Amino acid sequence: MALTQQQIQQVETVLRSSLRHKFQNYNPEPAVMPFHTRLLGQDRMALFSFIHSLNTNFGTSIFEPVALALASTKFKEAKSQATAGINISESAQRVIQDIMDDLTAATINPVKSNEIEKIREVCQSGKMRTVKPTKVDVWLKSHDDELFLFDIKTAKPNKGGFKEFKRTLLEWTACVLANDPKAIVNSLIAIPYNPYEPKPYSRWTMAGMLDLDNELKVAAEFWDFLGGQGAYTDLLDIFERIGLELRPEIDNYFEKYNRK
């Protein structure tokens, strides 16, 4: 078992409190779907609506706190919804734009180590601009002070979105280096699970924009990185166990939507 008893208890607490909070505060949208409701029943339609609503904030309400629970014993510091920094040099902004232009035109392949060093060379050169970059979903510092900044995405991100994802990763790097030019920083996309299992995740859609070895972690790659080898499997077992534990509460909640 990769996870400690303390980590397991933390994850269990996150899942229980998140679901119960959702039940207490959830108000289905007043959308009238008479054909669907008569065919499937109000309880099933309510469940469908609930799952859709839960999916929209699954990252912040479940994945982020679970990630922090897993990283707590392996990393020196871990936090969510953190700021990479508030300043970027004008020279770094130009370098980032040059990188994006070259990647978009496919004149270069993404090599993160090269990109970081290009930004590092100019990270404090020229006028410093105050910026408000996208929040870092999971911010980690190792015991060697190496930084890992994760942007958690849905399991099937829009193909066109990877251009903006890449820019975010580069801007985080520039913000960190503007504050500390010697910092060792890694900025990555995390995808919590593979919707194509048992087939491999379709990475080819990102290949021209992301350095797949250094900017992407999918499913077990992400969770095992946070909590150690086997963490992903342990995590799935915890989710299943809490789901069974809360099944009576879940059934009771949706029972009230049964059509009389």
d(CA 25, CA 19): 10
- Tell me whether residue 247 is exposed, middle or buried, using C-beta atoms within 10 angstroms of its C-beta: 0 to 12, 13 to 18, 19 or more: exposed
DSSP assignment, residue 63?
A: I
CB–CB of 86/130 below 8 Å? yes
pLDDT band at 260 (very low <50, low <70, confident <90, very high): very low
Task: Report the pLDDT value the prediction gives residue 1, as an integer from 0 to 100.
Answer: 60
DSSP structure string for 127-151: -EEE--PPPEEEEEE-TT--EEEEE
**45/110: higher pLDDT:** 110
pLDDT in tens, 30-70: 667 888 887 887 777 877 788 877 887 888 889 999 999 99
- Calpha distance 108→121 (Å, rounded): 19
**pTM metric for this prediction:** 0.90
Residues of the chain with pLDDT > 70, as a percent, come to: 96
How far, rounded to the nearest angstrom, does the alpha carbon of residue 121 sit from its chain's CA centroid?
A: 29
pLDDT score, position 31: 65
State what percent of residues in the chain have pLDDT above 90: 67
Tens of pLDDT along 128-181?
Answer: 999 999 999 999 999 999 999 999 998 777 766 889 999 999 999 999 999 999
Using CA atoms of 75, 155, 197, 234 in order, give the dihedral in degrees to the nearest 10.
30
DSSP class of residue 160 equals G
Look at strands 136-141 and 77-82 and give their pairing: antiparallel
Query: Which structural domains are found in the chain, ordered by start?
Result: 1-57+238-260 (no CATH), 75-227 (3.40.1560)
Angle formed at CA 190 by CA 181 and CA 161, multiple of 5 degrees: 90
Q: Which tops the pLDDT comparison, 260 or 98?
A: 98
Query: Looking at the predicted structure, is the pLDDT value of residue 259 above 60?
Result: no
CB 214 within 8 A of CB 112: yes
Quick one: pLDDT at residue 254?
76
How far, in Å, are 162, 170, 214, 260 from residue 158 at the CA level?
Answer: 7, 19, 20, 41
Instruction: Round the average pLDDT of the chain to a whole number and report it.
Output: 90
